[in-house]
Amino acid sequence: MKSFSPFGGKGEYHNPVLLKKSVDDLVTNPDGIYVDVTFGGGGHSREILKRLSEKGKLFSFDQDLDALENTIDDERFTLINQNFRFLENSLLMYGINAVDGILADLGVSSHQFDEAERGFSTRSNAPLDMRMNVMQSLDAKKVINDYEEEQLADIFYHYGELREARKLAREIVHQRKTKKIETTEDLKNLFSFIPPHKQNKFFAQVFQAVRIEVNQELEVLKEMLLQSYKILKPNGRLVVISYHSLEDRLVKRFLKNGMFEGEPSRDIYGNYAKAFELLQNKAVIPDDAEIEENSRARSAKLRTGTKL
C-alpha cells in the first residue's frame, strides 16, 4: 500500500505486527465500539472491521499526515487526525464516552523508517527531523543544536539507556560551536570513534533517545494509558504492542496496578489493588515465521488486560 508523503517521497506500510493475536484479544463484542490509536497503514483497523457487525464502530487515530491517505471507506469507520494523547476529548466530539476495546501498536512505522527524508533511520543521510507530526515545531535538529549539555545527557541516559551519555552530550556541544549539526550523517560522524562492531546498536540507541524526546513518546503513552482506563467499559480490553523496554515497562506496570511509579494501595487483606486482569502473565512475542517475514516484529511484545 502506497502513501503520499509531505516530504515528497513515497513509502510502503509493511505488515502489521502480531495481527491475528492482537485483534483476537481485542474484539469480544462484534456490536461494540473499538479504537485503534495507531492507524498507520490501517492493517490492524481493517482486521478489526472484519470482526465487527453492522452495528460495530471503529475510531482510529494517527497524527501523521501520510496515514490519511490510507483511510478506509466503511460507514463503521472514522479516522481522526490527532495524537492519541487527545484520545478522550477527541472521542467525546463524536459523542463517545465509553468503548469496548483499545489497541495501540507503538513506535515508528516501517513507512516512517523507510521515508529517508523523515530522518528516523540510521541507514540514510537526511535532515535531522524525526517528527511523527510534521506540523509541530520541535524536531531533532533543535534538540541536538539547542539543548543544553545536561539536557542532552539526560535524554541519552534515560531514553537511549547509554552509559556514556555525558561524554556524548559533551561531544555534541563541543562540535556544534564551530558547525551546526544538520543531518543524520553529521550526527553519526561525531561518534566515529565507536568501534565498528558496536555502531549499529549504538546509533540505534542514540536515534531512539532523540526521537523519544522530539515526540514526547513516553509522556504521550502515559496520558493515553490513563485515558484508556477511564473510557474502557468494565471488561473492556486494552491491547498494547511495544518495541523497546522503556515502553514495555510502562505498559506492564500500568496493566498490573494502574500506576507508573510508587506503591499501589492494598485492600484490608494486604493485596494490591488491580486495574486489569491480564490475559497472559507474560508478554506475547512473534514466532520465528513472523520475524522472518517482518523484521520489525523482532522486538515486539504484546500485553493485554481486561478492565476490572
pLDDT per residue over 10-39, tens digit each? 445 567 999 999 999 999 999 999 999 999
191 is in an annotated binding site: no
Provide the pLDDT for residue 6.
Answer: 35
64 is in an annotated binding site: no
Residue 132 vs residue 241, higher pLDDT: 241
Range 74-97 average pLDDT = 98
262 is in an annotated binding site: no
The whole-chain average pLDDT of the chain stands at 91
Residue 266 above 90 pLDDT? no
For 17, the grid coordinates are 505486527
Provide the pLDDT for residue 20.
Answer: 97
275 in Cβ contact with 305 (< 8 Å): yes
Q: Where are the alpha helices (H) located in 138-259, listed in sequence order?
A: 140-146, 149-158, 165-176, 184-189, 196-215, 217-231, 245-257
63 is in an annotated binding site: no
Provide the pLDDT for residue 11.
Answer: 44
Residue 32 vs residue 1, higher pLDDT: 32
Range 77-82 average pLDDT = 97
Torsions phi, psi for 87 (to 5 deg): -55, -55
Range 220-247 average pLDDT = 97
82 is in an annotated binding site: no
Residue 121 above 50 pLDDT? yes
Provide the pLDDT for residue 116.
Answer: 58
Lowest mean pLDDT among 80-89, 115-124, 178-187: 115-124
Does the pTM surpass 0.85? The reply is yes
Provide the pLDDT for residue 120.
Answer: 76
Provide the pLDDT for residue 82.
Answer: 96
288 is in an annotated binding site: no
Q: Who's near 238: CB < 8 A, 6+ residues apart?
A: 101, 102, 225, 228, 229, 232, 255, 276, 304, 305, 307
pLDDT bin (cut points 50, 70, 90) of residue 272 is: confident
Provide the pLDDT for residue 124.
Answer: 82
Residue 5 above 50 pLDDT? no
Report the alpha-carbon angle 117-118-119, nearest 5.
Answer: 90
Provide the pLDDT for residue 4.
Answer: 31
86 is in an annotated binding site: no
